[in-house]
Amino acid sequence: MIPWCTFTEPEVARVGLNEQEARERNIPHEVTVYGIDDLDRAIADGEAHGFVKVLTVPSKDRILGVTLVGEHAGDLIAEYVLAMKQGIGLNRILGTIHIYPTLAEANKYAAGMWKKAHAPQRLLAWVERYHAWRRG
């Protein structure tokens, strides 16, 4: 897990696998993308362009690789380097408090996108029916 960054405008930072490498090696993966154009701090700074792309093991929060494109991507990648090195998944990143408004929130929002895509739909539908029944 050697991270790298190309200091262009915008910066491009990466750690672990990217999509092309995962396909070439036949490594099963899921891709979650969060667009930085939605991030309050990026909007306030006039830097609302770029994305966070996270590759994970299918149906698991284990991170296989991350690509960040945007302002300060070289700084933002550090959270993912630590997570991958220590075996911390996206659920733990999502549960970490990030200061508002900062660019680092992009990492948390990417984890939130992953979590939303993996919400237990059958359980949520059952809970919704149960509460509707309780309310009468």
30-89 pLDDT tens trace = 999 999 999 999 999 999 999 999 999 999 999 999 999 999 999 999 999 999 999 999
pLDDT at 119 over 90: no
Residue with tokens 């990492």: 107
- Is pLDDT above 90 for 123? no
Specify the pTM.
0.88
